[in-house]
Structure 1
C-alpha cells in the first residue's frame, strides 16, 4: 500500500487542482442560478453512485486514513451495512436508498476528498463527446424546483471528464495497473485495508 501511495502522490496533487477547477465551475453555475444544496429531502448521499478511477480511490483512502481509528472503524461498519443493504435490495430487484457511510449528521466527513460525481451532481450540465452532438443532463429535483423558469447556464463537464481520464491513464501506466474500477464509496471503504 505504501508503495502505491508513493506512486500516486504526484497524481493526487494534480487531482487536487482538477477538483478545485470543478468546484469553481460548480460554484459559478450555482451562483448564477441562486441554487443552494442544503437540507434536501432527496439527498444525493442516498444515491448509489459508482466511481471508476483508481486515482479517486486513492484520494478517498488518503482522507479516510487521516481520520481517527475510532472514526475509521465507525465508517467501515456503516460501509459494511450499506453494502449488505444494497446487496439485499439487488437480490429483490428493489430500489435502494442507503445513506453514504461518510455522511454523519447530514454532513460529509470526507468532503474535501469526495469523488468527482459528488462534486458535479445536481446542476443541469452538458457533455460533448467527440463526433457526437452535445448532450444535456437535467439537475436534481431540488435544482429543478429552485430554478424553475430560468434559462440554462452553460456547465460543461467535458473538460473535467477528459482531464480525469488522462490523469487516470497516466497513473495506471506508471503503476502498472491493468484492472478497471467500479465501486461505490462503501465498497471502496471496506477494501482499503485489503488492497496493497
Structure 2
C-alpha cells in the first residue's frame, strides 16, 4: 500500500522561512533596545498564549516527535498538570500563571519549533489591521522598564500576521480543514500522537 503523502510538508518549508524572517526582525528591534530575554526577572513562558493555526500545531508536533521517548513522556505529564492547574485557577477566578510544559531549566525544549507569538512577544510593536485603525502595544512590563528612555523603533508585526494567515488559509484549503483552532501549548501536546496521523 502506498503511504499517503503528507499534505503539510510543502507548507513547512515556507513556515520555516517566515519564522526566520520574524526572528531577524525581532533581533533587529531587540538589539536597538538592548533588550534580551536571558536573565529576565519575569518569564513569558508563564503567560497563557492561545495559538490559532493548524500549521503551527503540526510543526510543533513534528518537533515533539523528534524528542527522546523519556522527554516526550515527561513533557506530556507536565502538559497534563498545566491543564489541571489552569482549570483550577479559572475555577477560582484567578488568572493562570503556569509554566509552559516545554520550558525546561529556563529554556524551551522545542525552541526552533516554537509558535509565532512565542517568537514575537515582549517588544513594543505596532499592528495595522485591515479596515481598522493601527494600534501600538508597549511590550511586556520588563521591556517597558528596560527600554525606558530609548529612541522608539518601528517593529511592525503586520507583515508576519498576514503571511501566517495566508499560509494557514492555503493549508486549510489543501487539507479540507474547516474547524478553527484555539489551543495553548499544553492543549496541543495533549493531542499529539507519536506516529503521524
- The answer, yes or no, to whether TM exceeds 0.5 is yes
**Aligned residue runs from structure 1 range 25-44, under 5 A:** 25-44=25-44
SS at the partner of 1:166?
helix
- Other-structure match for 2:96: 96
> 2:14 maps to what in 1?
14
Partner of 2:57: 57
Q: CA deviation at 1:141?
A: 1.4
Provide the rounded CA distance (Å) in 1 between the counterparts of 2:130 and 2:88: 39
1:135-146 correspondence runs (5 A): 135-146=135-146
Moved more, 170-179 or 141-150: 141-150
- Listed one character per residue, the Cα deviations across residues 127-152 of structure 1 (whole Å, up to 9, x for unaligned) are 00122221001111111111111132
TM-score normalized by structure 2?
0.95
What CA distance in whole angstroms lies between the structure 2 residues aligned with 1:148 and 1:41? Answer: 16
| Separation in structure 2 between the aligned mates of residue 132 and residue 188 of structure 1, nearest angstrom | 31
CA shift, 1:90, in A, is 0.8
1:51-89 deviation digits (Å, cap 9, x = unpaired): 000000001001000001101000000000000000011
Q: CA deviation at 1:159?
A: 0.4
Farther-moved stretch of structure 1 (19-28 vs 37-46) = 37-46
* Rounded Cα–Cα distance in structure 2 between residues aligned with 1:61 and 1:152: 37
Summarize the alignment of residues 70-149 of structure 1 with structure 2, pairs less than 5 Å apart.
70-149=70-149
Three-state SS of the structure 2 residue aligned to 1:7 is coil
Aligned to 2:174: 174
Q: Distance in 1 between matches of 2:95 and 2:182?
A: 19
Match of 1:151 in 2: 151
Unmatched 5+ stretches in structure 1:
none
Question: Which stretch of the first structure deviates more once superposed, 36-45 or 102-111?
Answer: 36-45
Alignment partners' CA distance in 2, 1:133 and 1:84: 38
RMSD of aligned Cα (Å): 1.5
TM-score (norm 1): 0.95
Q: 1:14 offset after TM fit, Å?
A: 0.4
What is the distance in 1 between the residues matched to 2:145 and 2:138? Answer: 12
